[in-house]
Amino acid sequence: MQSKRLLIALFICIGVFSCKENKTKPDVKSLQTFIKPEEVKEFGFNLKEYIVKRDTIKFGDSFGEILERNHIGYPQIFNIAEKAKDTFDIRNLRAGKPYTLLCAKDSLETPQAFIYQPRKEDYIVIKLSDSIHAYRGKKPITIVEKEASGIILNNLSETMEAQGLPYSLINDMSDIYAWTIDFFRLQKGDRFKIVYKQRFIEDTIYSGIESIDAAYFKHKDESFYAFNFKVDSLKNISDYFDENTKSLRRTFLKAPVQFSRISSRYNLNRRIKYYGYKLRPHKGTDFAAPIGTPILATANGTVTESRRRGGNGKYVKIKHNATYSTQYLHMKAQNVKKGEFVKQGDVIGWVGMTGNTGGPHVCYRFWKNGKQVDPFREKLPAAESIPDSLKASYSEFIKPLKSRLDNIQFSDNKIILPIEQDSISQIQ
């Protein structure tokens, strides 16, 4: 009897200790409910808390149709649009732009927020639950400073593309030197160096060129430095100047199209077989380019003609001042009207084949004092240099940049890969 009582007591003790052990060590399944899921932050939200749906605006899509497809009725959609209109007009959605829906983890996957990205780094949030409201945000931008250099084998575009440099950097380089170097006549062995900054969204997504801070180009054994310097801090105006404080700009661009080739030059003694070798002077410069290539105004001025006429086809004529005028022939379409003021570099039309032409090109004509002349033989005036009051500070500003450019080395293989990041800064 005594042994039976001891056995019962032993079982009771084992039961007590078992219960205590179960309370202090919950099973793995119950433990998992207490572990906070890893956060994935974007647009200020923890995406782990939502069902995330990403898409782009399609042609014909509207804000209402997108929400209606995701189980929100039109009365509520109208209410959302009204409350969001002071921040964002929902009619301004553009095809091809990305959007994100953050949906609740319920059976209907009810949308909680609509996020639209008009640009890579900018976004608009429309909160759809609780108190409906909208606000704008910007993703953190990282600025990465880089260097690149190269020796021309064929042309600038091919040399830079072979290094994997961004196409926008090629355009920026051509813009900087558009007034001082004829990129249609680059020679094998010409070389360049660049110090520039790139933009990255959240450290990983490339978002374009922030700036070219300094550049060097050697063409026909002549050196051309370019330094980006702010001449007006209040208006945030900057421009490129050489090591002697002179502006790289001229009053006219050398060409009305980028990365084209001259297919026919100004020639008053031209004779054409098709016309029986009769003298048919060519008073323009033809730039061959694919149909649709943007045509740029080579200087500031007022549009005096934008029309179609005879062999000229569709064309634009600009009066720049009392001395100079330019004309752009054979356009596919014009982008300006008579009387409009245009700035240097504005797109005034697109390359086409209207009028008398055997292929897509723009015929660029140049007038000086009412007479057509060859712009490549004219000594065109330069833009203003740095004001005397800023020359001392400019000289100090460019010293480290010039030293840095001078110390960038070329290798013997004629192609220099861009040097990876030297310094990083963040813009929140």
List of domains in the chain: 42-138 (3.10.450.350), 142-249+383-427 (3.10.450.350), 261-377 (2.70.70.10)
Q: For the chain, how big is the Rg over CA atoms in Å?
A: 33
CB count within 10 Å of CB 216 equals 21
pLDDT digits (tens, 9 = 90+) for 130-152: 788 899 999 888 899 999 888 88
pLDDT digits (tens, 9 = 90+) for 313-360: 999 999 988 888 999 999 999 999 999 988 888 999 999 999 988 889
Q: Write down the pLDDT at residue 104.
A: 92
Verdict on whether the full-model pTM lies above 0.85 = no
| Cβ–Cβ < 8 Å for 295, 256 | yes
What mean pLDDT value characterizes the chain? 81
Alpha-carbon separation of residue 94 from 1, 56, 62, 69, 154 (angstroms): 90, 9, 9, 18, 40
Greatest mean pLDDT range, 47-61, 168-182, 196-210: 47-61
Name the token pair of 82: 């009204």
Determine the Cα–Cα distance for residues 352 and 359; give it in Å rounded to an integer.
8
Least confident of 115-119, 205-209, 249-253, 336-340: 249-253
Alpha-carbon separation of residue 405 from 211, 216, 220, 425 (angstroms): 16, 7, 19, 21
Give the three-class secondary structure for 137.
strand
Which residue bears the tokens 């370019």? 226
Q: Is pLDDT above 80 for 11?
A: no
DSSP for 210-236, written as a single string = EEEEEEEEEETTEEEEEEEEEEETTTT
Q: Write down the pLDDT at residue 378.
A: 80
Greatest mean pLDDT range, 43-47, 158-162, 164-168, 316-320: 316-320
Least confident of 114-128, 245-259, 330-344: 245-259
Q: Is pLDDT above 80 for 114?
A: yes
* 167 vs 413: which has the higher pLDDT: 167
Which residue bears the tokens 């009771």? 12
Determine the Cα–Cα distance for residues 282 and 12; give it in Å rounded to an integer.
113
Listed in order, strand segments (DSSP E) in 220-336 are: 222-232, 237-241, 261-264, 271-272, 278-279, 285-288, 294-296, 301-309, 313-319, 324-334
pLDDT digits (tens, 9 = 90+) for 391-417: 999 999 999 999 999 999 875 434 433
Rounded mean pLDDT, 211-235: 89
Determine the Cα–Cα distance for residues 398 and 387; give it in Å rounded to an integer.
16
Alpha-carbon separation of residue 360 from 29, 183, 288 (angstroms): 71, 20, 6
pLDDT level of residue 278 (50, 70, 90 thresholds): low
Please report which residue ranges of 72-191 form alpha helices under DSSP H: 74-84, 156-162, 167-176
* 89 vs 8: which has the higher pLDDT: 89
Determine the Cα–Cα distance for residues 20 and 12; give it in Å rounded to an integer.
13
pLDDT level of residue 27 (50, 70, 90 thresholds): very low
Which residues 6+ apart lie within 8 Å of 85 measured at CB? Answer: none
Least confident of 214-228, 239-253, 376-390: 376-390
Helices then strands, counting H and E runs in the chain, come out as 7, 25
Own/partner contacts of 366-369, CB < 8 Å, gap of 24 or more, are: 366/284, 366/285, 366/324, 366/325, 366/326, 366/327, 367/324, 367/325, 367/326, 367/327, 368/323, 368/324, 369/323
Name the token pair of 10: 């032993």
Which residues 6+ apart lie within 8 Å of 6 measured at CB? Answer: none
Counting residues of the chain whose pLDDT is more than 90, the rounded percentage is: 38
